[in-house]
């Protein structure tokens, strides 16, 4: 575990919610390696997560508590599908008692498009553009998951130039995604200026993408066996000019929000989730790392050029909103470090090892490829019959779907405003949930 930063000083007493979430101390987690826990030999905390399968209808029409005239009455409100916090079309039904959240019922499905079903009629090349419409803030990284899956299954080689450009682009996109997330978090907590600052950085990085790829949002750039377009001659110069600016921006972020006492009060000790619980819920990405589990696919299972560069896996201590905030901020610094190490010598070579119209037929069986996106592990699982150019069945393992359920696990007992902070710290992208 490289570079664990002690992110917090817990001098202040923890503010407990009225129904405290079970917490696992760091001591209990110590001594169990992540690999062990991931391999299933240690089911840490699995017993604590009780899964109760109830239909949506049952949840929504469960009796509201009004036992006697002395108690208050619970009520249901819809947060979404059209609500500023929804960040898309996500409906979350809150069961409230005054301002206290009693129960959270996420109702996804408003942007369901049947992408996985559509992909069964598409060749592997054609699947790529669909992945960047899932999590449009990690488009390039999502492309890479398909590319990794196909390349590993069909044995397609790549070269250093392809992998270097892929890594740089993915890290740029991570910076872009985290910058936007930072702004949106600020806006959710009432600091509207932060939103526009985050957007400003996002647009500046977007211009670099636009020059190379021709798109700003849904960029299908990484293809199985290579890249769609080669970088422009001044790409490296432009990125190198951008990096110091982004460093300044992160300092500005710290000044504007991180140092603000109100902002810290809003995030510290809010919405704790411990590592075992986060693992049991299938969380990945900054949410898992904020809970103290140093699992980052880029370090645990290096792909691209990640095995050849120095970077730290940033982890938090308590797994509250502040840790999730700070892990992402630190990750931006690490992304800048990664790009700095790669940008100076992008190797020469072809940008694709296949011709674009080469048919790819995967061998019979299940094939899986995954990458670490800005929000966690994005995986592609394809079943191939060994004869068809299209997958027999395709499934996306999207990080946001798992991350969403953190809300149900931890939001009960907090107030509405804390719920906003929690959901904002999860950094959800809704189409990725609904697929």
Partner 1 sequence: MNATDIQPPPTAGRVWQTITVAQRAADSADENLWLTAGYFLASMAGVALLLSFLGMALIYIERKVAAHFQCRVGPMRVGPFGLLQTVADTVKLVFKEDFVPRMADRWLHMLAPFLALLVPVVLLALIPYSPAAQVADLNIGILFITAIGGFGVMGILIAGWSSNNKWSMIGAMRAGAQIISYELSATLALLVVVLFSGTMSLSGIVHSQESGWWIWRGHAAGLCAFLIYLVASTAELNRTPFDIPEGESELTAGFHTEYSGLRFAFFFLAEFINMFTVSALTATLFLGGWMPFHIGDWSAFNASMDAIPPALWFIGKTTAIIFIIMWFRWTFPRLRVDQLMHLEWKVLLPIGFANLLVASVVVLTNAYPFPVAAP
Binding site for partner 1 (CB under 8 A): 75, 77, 83-85, 99, 186-193, 196-197, 200, 256-257, 260, 262-263, 265-266, 415-418, 420
Q: Which CB sits closer to partner 1, 185 or 400?
A: 185
Distances from the Cα of 99 to the Cα of 61, 77, 262, angstroms: 20, 11, 19
Query: Is the distance from CB of 161 to CB of 349 less than 8 angstroms?
Result: yes
| CB burial string 189-226: b at 16+ within 10 A, e below | bebeebbebbbebbeebbebbeebbeeeeebbbbbbbb
Q: Which CB sits closer to partner 1, 15 or 26?
A: 15
Q: Which CB sits closer to partner 1, 42 or 416?
A: 416
Q: What is the number of residues in the chain?
A: 435
Q: Which CB sits closer to partner 1, 33 or 255?
A: 255
Distance CA 250, CA 197 (A): 10
Q: How far is the CB of 196 from partner 1 (least distance, A)?
A: 4
First CA to last CA distance, the chain: 34
Distance CA 379, CA 370 (A): 4
Q: Which CB sits closer to partner 1, 118 or 196?
A: 196
Q: How far is the CB of 420 from partner 1 (least distance, A)?
A: 5
Q: How far is the CB of 219 from partner 1 (least distance, A)?
A: 25
Q: What angle do CA 49, 423, 198 make, to 5 degrees?
A: 145
- H or E segment to which residue 276 belongs: helix 275-280
Q: How far is the CB of 203 from partner 1 (least distance, A)?
A: 11
Q: How far is the CB of 54 from partner 1 (least distance, A)?
A: 24
Query: Is the distance from CB of 284 to CB of 295 less than 8 angstroms?
Result: yes
Q: What angle do CA 136, 432, 280 make, to 5 degrees?
A: 130
3-state secondary structure of 42: coil
Give the number of other Cβ atoms within 10 Å of residue 83's Cβ.
15
Q: Which CB sits closer to partner 1, 201 or 274?
A: 201
Q: How far is the CB of 257 from partner 1 (least distance, A)?
A: 7
Q: Which CB sits closer to partner 1, 166 or 324?
A: 324
Distance CA 315, CA 18 (A): 27
Q: Which CB sits closer to partner 1, 192 or 245?
A: 192
Q: How far is the CB of 93 from partner 1 (least distance, A)?
A: 12
Query: Is the distance from CB of 220 to CB of 169 less than 8 angstroms?
Result: no
**Of 113, 112, 114, 117, which is closest to residue 391 (Cα–Cα)?**
117
Q: How far is the CB of 147 from partner 1 (least distance, A)?
A: 37
**Of 195, 317, 329, 330, which is closest to residue 268 (Cα–Cα)?**
317
Query: Is the distance from CB of 48 to CB of 28 less than 8 angstroms?
Result: no
């Amino acid at each position: 575990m490289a570079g664990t930063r002690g992110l917090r000083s817990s001098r202040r007493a923890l503010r407990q919610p009225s129904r405290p979430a079970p917490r696992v101390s760091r001591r209990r987690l110590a001594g169990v390696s992540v690999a062990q826990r991931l391999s299933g030999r240690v089911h840490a905390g699995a017993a604590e997560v009780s899964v109760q399968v109830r239909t949506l209808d049952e949840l929504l029409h469960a009796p509201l508590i009004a036992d006697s005239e002395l108690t208050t009455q619970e009520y249901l409100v819809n947060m979404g599908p059209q609500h500023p916090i929804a960040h898309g079309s996500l409906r979350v039904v809150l069961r409230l008692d005054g301002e206290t959240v009693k129960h959270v019922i996420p109702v996804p499905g408003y942007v369901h498009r049947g992408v996985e079903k559509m992909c069964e009629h598409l060749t592997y090349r054609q699947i790529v553009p669909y992945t960047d419409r899932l999590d449009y803030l990690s488009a390039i990284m999502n492309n890479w998951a398909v590319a990794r899956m196909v390349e590993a299954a069909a044995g397609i080689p790549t070269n250093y130039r392809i992998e270097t450009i892929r890594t740089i682009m993915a890290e740029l996109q991570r910076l872009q995604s985290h910058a936007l997330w930072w702004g949106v978090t600020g806006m959710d907590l009432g600091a509207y200026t932060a939103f526009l600052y985050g957007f400003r950085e996002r647009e500046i990085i977007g211009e670099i993408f636009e020059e190379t790829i021709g798109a700003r949002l849904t960029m299908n750039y990484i293809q199985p066996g290579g890249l769609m377009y080669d970088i422009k001659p001044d790409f490296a110069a432009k990125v190198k000019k951008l990096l110091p600016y982004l460093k300044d921006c992160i300092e500005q972020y710290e000044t504007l929000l991180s140092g603000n006492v109100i902002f810290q009060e809003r995030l510290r000790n809010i919405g704790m989730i411990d590592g075992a619980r986060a693992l049991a819920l299938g969380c990945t990405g900054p949410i898992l790392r904020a809970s103290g589990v140093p699992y980052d696919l880029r370090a645990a299972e290096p792909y691209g050029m990640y095995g050849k560069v120095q970077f730290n896996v940033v982890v938090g201590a308590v797994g509250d909103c502040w840790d999730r905030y700070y892990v992402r901020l630190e990750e931006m610094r690490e992304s800048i470090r990664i790009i700095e190490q790669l940008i100076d010598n992008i190797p020469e070579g072809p940008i694709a090892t296949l011709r674009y119209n080469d048919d790819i037929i995967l061998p019979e069986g299940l094939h899986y490829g995954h990458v670490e996106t800005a929000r966690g592990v994005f995986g592609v699982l394809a079943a191939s019959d060994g004869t068809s150019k299209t997958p027999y069945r395709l499934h996306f393992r999207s990080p946001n779907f798992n991350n969403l359920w953190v809300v149900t696990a931890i939001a009960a007992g907090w107030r509405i405003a804390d719920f906003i902070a929690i959901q904002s710290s999860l950094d959800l992208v809704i189409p990725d949930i609904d697929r």
